Amino acid sequence: MEEELRQILDGIGPRLRALRRDRGLTLEALAAMTGFSVSTLSRLESGRRRPTLELLIPLARTHRIALDQLVAAPASGDPRVHLAPLRKGHGSTLVPLTQYPGRVQVFKQVLAPREPKLVTHDGYEWLYVLAGELRLVLGERELVLGPGQVAEFDTGQPHWFGPAGTGTVEILHLFGPRGDRAVVREGPTAAGPSPEAS
Protein backbone atom coordinates (compact mmCIF):
# COMPACT_ATOMS: atom_id res chain seq x y z
CA MET A 1 0.00 0.00 0.00
CA GLU A 2 2.85 2.40 0.86
CA GLU A 3 4.50 1.72 -2.50
CA GLU A 4 1.23 2.36 -4.37
CA LEU A 5 0.77 5.66 -2.51
CA ARG A 6 4.34 6.70 -3.29
CA GLN A 7 3.84 5.99 -7.00
CA ILE A 8 0.63 8.05 -7.05
CA LEU A 9 2.34 10.99 -5.32
CA ASP A 10 5.41 10.74 -7.57
CA GLY A 11 3.20 10.95 -10.66
CA ILE A 12 1.45 14.20 -9.67
CA GLY A 13 4.36 16.57 -10.37
CA PRO A 14 5.00 15.41 -13.96
CA ARG A 15 1.24 15.42 -14.58
CA LEU A 16 0.99 19.03 -13.36
CA ARG A 17 3.88 20.06 -15.60
CA ALA A 18 2.33 18.35 -18.63
CA LEU A 19 -1.06 20.00 -17.97
CA ARG A 20 0.52 23.44 -17.68
CA ARG A 21 2.56 23.01 -20.86
CA ASP A 22 -0.41 21.58 -22.79
CA ARG A 23 -2.27 24.79 -21.99
CA GLY A 24 0.67 26.96 -23.02
CA LEU A 25 1.08 28.44 -19.53
CA THR A 26 4.29 29.61 -17.92
CA LEU A 27 4.91 29.10 -14.22
CA GLU A 28 4.46 32.86 -13.82
CA ALA A 29 1.06 32.81 -15.55
CA LEU A 30 -0.13 29.85 -13.47
CA ALA A 31 1.11 31.56 -10.31
CA ALA A 32 -0.96 34.64 -11.17
CA MET A 33 -4.05 32.45 -11.77
CA THR A 34 -3.75 30.39 -8.57
CA GLY A 35 -2.13 32.79 -6.10
CA PHE A 36 0.68 30.30 -5.44
CA SER A 37 4.30 31.41 -5.77
CA VAL A 38 6.39 30.39 -8.76
CA SER A 39 8.79 28.53 -6.48
CA THR A 40 5.93 26.55 -4.88
CA LEU A 41 4.63 25.50 -8.29
CA SER A 42 8.12 24.68 -9.54
CA ARG A 43 8.90 22.52 -6.49
CA LEU A 44 5.52 20.80 -6.80
CA GLU A 45 6.13 19.95 -10.47
CA SER A 46 9.65 18.68 -9.79
CA GLY A 47 8.52 16.53 -6.86
CA ARG A 48 10.48 18.53 -4.30
CA ARG A 49 7.26 19.58 -2.54
CA ARG A 50 4.68 17.08 -1.31
CA PRO A 51 1.27 17.64 -2.96
CA THR A 52 -1.51 18.50 -0.51
CA LEU A 53 -5.23 19.06 -1.02
CA GLU A 54 -4.71 22.77 -0.30
CA LEU A 55 -2.46 22.90 -3.38
CA LEU A 56 -4.19 20.37 -5.63
CA ILE A 57 -7.80 21.56 -5.34
CA PRO A 58 -7.07 25.12 -6.62
CA LEU A 59 -4.86 23.68 -9.38
CA ALA A 60 -7.58 21.24 -10.47
CA ARG A 61 -10.09 24.13 -10.54
CA THR A 62 -7.69 26.32 -12.53
CA HIS A 63 -7.13 23.55 -15.11
CA ARG A 64 -10.88 22.74 -14.98
CA ILE A 65 -10.39 19.03 -14.41
CA ALA A 66 -11.58 16.63 -11.72
CA LEU A 67 -9.24 16.11 -8.79
CA ASP A 68 -9.03 12.37 -9.48
CA GLN A 69 -7.70 13.13 -12.98
CA LEU A 70 -4.89 15.13 -11.39
CA VAL A 71 -4.12 12.45 -8.84
CA ALA A 72 -4.73 9.58 -11.30
CA ALA A 73 -6.56 7.50 -8.74
CA PRO A 74 -6.25 3.77 -9.43
CA ALA A 75 -9.07 2.25 -11.47
CA SER A 76 -11.89 0.74 -9.43
CA GLY A 77 -12.28 -2.21 -11.81
CA ASP A 78 -15.65 -0.90 -12.99
CA PRO A 79 -15.33 0.00 -16.70
CA ARG A 80 -18.63 1.90 -16.82
CA VAL A 81 -18.53 5.63 -17.48
CA HIS A 82 -21.03 7.60 -15.39
CA LEU A 83 -21.97 10.60 -17.51
CA ALA A 84 -23.90 13.53 -16.05
CA PRO A 85 -26.40 14.98 -18.56
CA LEU A 86 -27.02 18.72 -18.32
CA ARG A 87 -30.58 19.86 -18.98
CA LYS A 88 -30.72 22.96 -21.14
CA GLY A 89 -33.57 25.29 -21.96
CA HIS A 90 -36.36 24.29 -24.35
CA GLY A 91 -36.05 20.58 -23.45
CA SER A 92 -32.54 20.07 -24.84
CA THR A 93 -29.92 17.85 -23.17
CA LEU A 94 -26.11 18.10 -23.27
CA VAL A 95 -23.77 15.28 -22.21
CA PRO A 96 -20.05 16.25 -22.00
CA LEU A 97 -17.92 13.33 -23.24
CA THR A 98 -14.50 14.94 -22.66
CA GLN A 99 -12.95 17.21 -20.04
CA TYR A 100 -9.88 18.71 -21.68
CA PRO A 101 -10.00 22.51 -21.44
CA GLY A 102 -8.10 24.23 -24.22
CA ARG A 103 -8.49 21.26 -26.56
CA VAL A 104 -11.32 19.88 -28.68
CA GLN A 105 -14.40 19.25 -26.53
CA VAL A 106 -16.89 16.51 -27.44
CA PHE A 107 -20.57 16.55 -26.47
CA LYS A 108 -23.58 14.40 -27.21
CA GLN A 109 -26.63 16.61 -27.60
CA VAL A 110 -30.35 16.07 -27.98
CA LEU A 111 -31.79 19.30 -29.35
CA ALA A 112 -35.46 20.20 -29.06
CA PRO A 113 -37.20 22.67 -31.40
CA ARG A 114 -36.51 26.35 -30.73
CA GLU A 115 -36.43 29.62 -32.63
CA PRO A 116 -33.28 30.20 -34.72
CA LYS A 117 -30.94 32.85 -33.34
CA LEU A 118 -27.63 33.38 -35.14
CA VAL A 119 -24.52 33.68 -32.95
CA THR A 120 -20.78 34.13 -33.50
CA HIS A 121 -17.80 33.26 -31.29
CA ASP A 122 -14.20 32.11 -31.58
CA GLY A 123 -13.62 28.48 -32.43
CA TYR A 124 -14.38 25.70 -34.87
CA GLU A 125 -17.22 23.16 -34.76
CA TRP A 126 -18.06 19.76 -36.19
CA LEU A 127 -21.59 18.35 -36.06
CA TYR A 128 -22.36 14.66 -36.69
CA VAL A 129 -26.02 13.66 -36.89
CA LEU A 130 -26.89 10.47 -35.00
CA ALA A 131 -30.71 10.53 -35.32
CA GLY A 132 -33.31 12.89 -36.73
CA GLU A 133 -32.66 15.81 -39.06
CA LEU A 134 -30.46 18.80 -38.24
CA ARG A 135 -31.12 22.25 -39.64
CA LEU A 136 -27.90 24.27 -39.92
CA VAL A 137 -27.92 27.97 -40.74
CA LEU A 138 -24.56 29.49 -41.77
CA GLY A 139 -24.99 33.15 -42.60
CA GLU A 140 -27.20 33.20 -45.72
CA ARG A 141 -26.90 29.42 -46.30
CA GLU A 142 -29.23 26.81 -44.87
CA LEU A 143 -28.63 23.04 -44.88
CA VAL A 144 -30.54 19.99 -43.64
CA LEU A 145 -28.41 17.03 -42.53
CA GLY A 146 -29.59 13.48 -41.88
CA PRO A 147 -28.11 10.61 -39.85
CA GLY A 148 -24.45 9.97 -40.68
CA GLN A 149 -23.89 13.38 -42.24
CA VAL A 150 -21.29 15.82 -40.94
CA ALA A 151 -20.81 19.59 -41.12
CA GLU A 152 -17.78 21.63 -40.05
CA PHE A 153 -17.45 25.39 -39.88
CA ASP A 154 -15.62 28.32 -38.34
CA THR A 155 -17.81 29.75 -35.56
CA GLY A 156 -16.66 33.26 -36.41
CA GLN A 157 -19.41 33.26 -39.05
CA PRO A 158 -23.03 33.70 -37.91
CA HIS A 159 -24.55 30.27 -37.28
CA TRP A 160 -27.38 28.35 -35.63
CA PHE A 161 -28.40 24.69 -35.58
CA GLY A 162 -31.36 22.73 -34.28
CA PRO A 163 -34.01 20.22 -35.37
CA ALA A 164 -35.24 20.53 -38.94
CA GLY A 165 -38.79 19.55 -37.93
CA THR A 166 -41.01 19.46 -34.88
CA GLY A 167 -39.16 16.55 -33.22
CA THR A 168 -35.71 16.35 -31.62
CA VAL A 169 -32.36 15.72 -33.28
CA GLU A 170 -29.46 13.82 -31.69
CA ILE A 171 -25.91 14.86 -32.58
CA LEU A 172 -22.27 14.53 -31.65
CA HIS A 173 -20.92 18.07 -31.28
CA LEU A 174 -17.18 18.77 -31.35
CA PHE A 175 -15.93 22.22 -30.48
CA GLY A 176 -12.30 23.30 -30.69
CA PRO A 177 -10.17 26.43 -30.51
CA ARG A 178 -9.78 28.52 -33.66
CA GLY A 179 -7.23 26.93 -35.97
CA ASP A 180 -8.14 23.32 -35.20
CA ARG A 181 -9.30 21.46 -38.28
CA ALA A 182 -10.69 17.98 -38.78
CA VAL A 183 -8.92 15.72 -41.27
CA VAL A 184 -11.53 13.63 -43.05
CA ARG A 185 -10.47 10.67 -45.17
CA GLU A 186 -13.01 8.93 -47.38
CA GLY A 187 -12.81 5.77 -49.39
CA PRO A 188 -14.00 5.54 -53.00
CA THR A 189 -17.75 6.02 -53.43
CA ALA A 190 -20.16 4.50 -55.89
CA ALA A 191 -20.46 6.18 -59.26
CA GLY A 192 -22.77 9.15 -59.29
CA PRO A 193 -22.78 12.84 -58.51
CA SER A 194 -20.71 13.78 -55.48
CA PRO A 195 -22.42 15.88 -52.78
CA GLU A 196 -21.60 19.55 -52.65
CA ALA A 197 -18.87 20.33 -50.14
CA SER A 198 -20.10 22.36 -47.20
Domain definitions of the chain by residue range = 2-71, 86-176
CATH domain 86-176 topology? Jelly Rolls (2.60.120)
2-71: CATH architecture = Orthogonal Bundle (1.10)
pTM of the model as a whole: 0.52
Provide block-wise average pLDDT over 10 residues at a time, the chain (198 residues): 75 86 87 93 92 88 78 57 68 77 80 91 91 94 94 92 92 76 45 40
Cα separations in angstroms, 193 against 11, 105, 149, 197 = 54, 34, 16, 12
Residue pLDDT, tens place only, 46-80: 989 988 888 988 888 887 777 777 776 544 555 55
